[in-house]
C-alpha cells in the first residue's frame, strides 16, 4: 500500500506541472517578444 499517492502528493505534483508549464511559456515568450521588437512589430502596435 506504500505505492498509493496521497492527496497532498497529487496536489503538489499538479502544482509543479502547472508551474513548469508557466515557466516554459515565459521562456518561449521572451525571445518571441525580442524578435517582434527587433522587427518593429511592437512599435506598430504601440506597445513600446
- Reported as a pLDDT band with limits 50, 70 and 90, residue 37 is confident
The candidate with the shortest Cα–Cα distance to 46, out of 37, 38, 26, is 37
* Cα–Cα distance for residue pair 25/31, rounded to 1 Å: 11
Q: What is the pTM of this model?
A: 0.70
pLDDT above 60: residue 1: no
Amino acid at each position: 500500500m506504500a505505492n498509493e499517492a496521497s492527496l497532498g502528493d497529487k496536489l503538489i505534483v499538479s502544482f509543479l506541472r502547472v508551474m513548469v508549464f508557466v515557466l516554459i511559456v515565459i521562456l518561449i515568450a521572451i525571445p518571441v517578444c525580442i524578435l517582434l521588437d527587433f522587427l518593429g512589430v511592437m512599435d506598430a502596435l504601440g506597445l513600446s
